[in-house]
Amino acid sequence: MKADSEPDRGWQAEGSPPPLGLPEIEPDVPDKFKDRMLRASQWFFALRDRLCSTIVDLEEAALAESVSGSRPQQFEIKKTLRQTRTKQDGGGGQMAVLRDGQVFEKVGVNASTVYGQLGQKMSKAISARRKSPDFANNAQFWASGISLVAHPRNPRVPAVHLNTRMFWTPVGHWFGGGTDLNPCLEFPNDVRHFHGHLERICDRHDQSYYRRFSEWADRYFHVPHRGRARGVGGIFFDDLCSGNWDGDFSFVRDVGESFFDAYLPIVRRRRTESWSDDDRVAQLLHRGLYVEFNLLYDRGTRFGLESGHDADAVLMSLPPMAKWR
């Protein structure tokens, strides 16, 4: 039997996610939210399975068209744990990473369910953002979510980021997430396709969502020290709690599934196009911009590291190679 820290190779449906995880906070969780937490966590892990299976299928199809004769690359799966100061159970998840594929040079898909007590710095930040001073005095939390980052091999295929999550505290609950396209070589048709699909799924839930969340993405994914965006935008949202939990969760599911219709058609259209050495240099330089944003500004990176989650999982989003002038 393999130790928890030893990675498995290949991909298979993982079935049920890790235990829901309420031991430290259970007395404060209303019964209706225990069911909602379970539903959300199960869905995030089920989406992880679908995403990884689809990516493996794409890699196998690309390899079948090549003449390399090599075996398709598979996901390496590693269990991750959140470390707590008191050594109590803090939850965890699974990190799945595929490297050196025919289509993707690196793609990672993380799913996790974490819980316990937030540190002082993080609890104060959430308290200020949520305008909930009581949270700093009772910093219990539960969070579950999924994150995907894909760095394609062909520079003409854009990189993509996708994240959705649910967060619960004794003083409030909310959803957050988003997705954005990061091409090093911009093609207007790809940008229109990606944004067009996001606008359609937003409009199914609220006619104001696309304008609000795309503008939020433009602000969020801005790289201040470079004076530019890291990509061509998408949507970003946080603190989503309309009072209709089922409606909010339905929207989050649509955002999570946007990978299949907003992004994959672009990959299939561009992945076999020829590219030059200059294109590769442009790709590596753009990846450098992506690294700068994630290490300096990304809220998820800060939360993951400051809340004690597995550093390899938190930094899964970084590309395998990058370049700076």
If phi over 0 gives left and psi between -120 and 50 gives alpha, with beta otherwise, what is residue 308? left
pLDDT tens-digit profile of 125-174?
666 666 666 666 667 888 999 999 999 999 999 999 999 999 988 878 89
Q: Which two tokens stand for residue 195?
A: 């944004």
Instruction: Answer yes or no: is pLDDT of 17 > 60.
Output: no
Least confident among 23-37, 120-134, 184-198, 246-260: 120-134
CATH topology of domain 8-317: oxygen-dependent coproporphyrinogen oxidase (3.40.1500)
Least confident among 64-73, 96-105, 154-163, 314-323: 64-73
pLDDT, position 140: 80
Least confident among 31-35, 156-160, 225-229: 31-35
Residue 111 contacts residue 67 (beta carbons within 8 Å)? no
pLDDT, position 35: 87
The whole-number average pLDDT for the span 13-22 is 47
Residue 160 contacts residue 203 (beta carbons within 8 Å)? no
Q: Which DSSP state fits 198?
A: H
pLDDT tens-digit profile of 307-320?
667 788 888 899 99
Catalytic residue among 161, 173, 195, 205: 161
pLDDT tens-digit profile of 71-93?
668 899 988 877 666 656 678 88
pLDDT range class, residue 19, cuts 50, 70, 90? very low
Collect all residues with Cβ–Cβ distance below 8 Å to 74 and sequence separation of at least 6: 9, 10, 11, 56, 98
Active site residue 195: no
Q: Which is more confidently placed, 288 or 82?
A: 288
Q: Which is more confidently placed, 31 or 257?
A: 257
Instruction: Answer yes or no: is pLDDT of 10 > 60.
Output: no
Q: Which DSSP state fits 6?
A: S
Our CA angle for 56, 57, 61, nearest 5°, is 115
Q: Quick one: three-class SS letters along the chain?
A: CCCCCCCEECCCCCCCCCCCCCCCCHHHCCHHHHHHHHHHHHHHHHHHHHHHHHHHHHHHHHHHHCCCCCCCCCEEEEEEECCCCCCCCCEEEEEEEEECCCCEEEEEEEEEEEEEECCHHHHHHHHHHHCCHHHHHCCEEEEEEEEEEEEECCCCCCEEEEEEEEEEECCEEEEEEEEEEECCCCCHHHHHHHHHHHHHHHHCCCCCHHHHHHHHHHHHCEECCCCEECCCCEEEEEEECCCCHHHHHHHHHHHHCHHHHHHHHHHHHHCCCCCCHHHHHHHHHHHHHHHHHHHHCCHHHHHHHHCCCCHHHHHHHCCCCCCCC
pLDDT range class, residue 1, cuts 50, 70, 90? very low
pLDDT, position 6: 42
Q: Which residues pair with 180 in a beta bridge?
A: 161, 234
Domain ranges of the chain: 8-317
The whole-number average pLDDT for the span 236-246 is 95
The whole-number average pLDDT for the span 38-43 is 92
pLDDT range class, residue 193, cuts 50, 70, 90? very high
Residue 108 contacts residue 148 (beta carbons within 8 Å)? yes
CA atoms within 13 A on the CB side of 131: 1
Dihedrals phi, psi of 74, to nearest 5 degrees: -125, 165
pLDDT, position 187: 98
Taking Cα atoms as reference points, which of 103, 113, 111 lies closest to residue 55?
Answer: 103
pLDDT, position 177: 96
Q: Which residues pair with 79 in a beta bridge?
A: 94
Instruction: Answer yes or no: is pLDDT of 114 > 70.
Output: yes
Least confident among 34-38, 151-155, 222-226, 284-288: 34-38
Record the pTM.
0.88
Other C-beta atoms lying within 10 Å of the C-beta of residue 115: 26
